[in-house]
Homo-oligomer: A and B are copies of this chain.
């Protein structure tokens, strides 16, 4: 399915978009963590935070798979989940963009 060739410029664009999404998602996790700290002063709250971070770490490790054979699917999901916008994918060839957008809307429908 992901039998695309990646030019050097596209690899750079992909790396930028990938890193941007990862940073955004990690900052969102950080925001949630800060919110959890504020929401509950109970001393056991640190373990709920630990559970939350464990879950998110597994999720992020699985999701952010930077292999070129996986990248189109990864970007499809990141687009669907809102961690990247179409504009962040500037620099990728049109056929890749179309595939990514197609995957994103397919995934979105599948989740409904």
Contact surface of A with B, Cβ cutoff 8 Å: 22-23, 26-27, 29-30, 33-34, 37, 43-47, 49-50, 53-54, 56-57
List residues of chain B with CB within 8 A of the CB of A29. 46
B26 touches A44 (CB 8 A): yes
Number of copies: 2
Given A33-B49, A34-B37, A50-B50; A43-B26 close (CB under 8 Å): yes
Closest to A26 in B: B43
Task: Point out the residues of chain B lying under 8 angstroms from A22, CB to CB.
Answer: 43
Expressed in whole angstroms, the Cα–Cα distance for A54 and B47 within the complex equals 9
Are B30 and A43 within 8 A (Cβ)? yes
Residue of B nearest to A61 (CB): B47
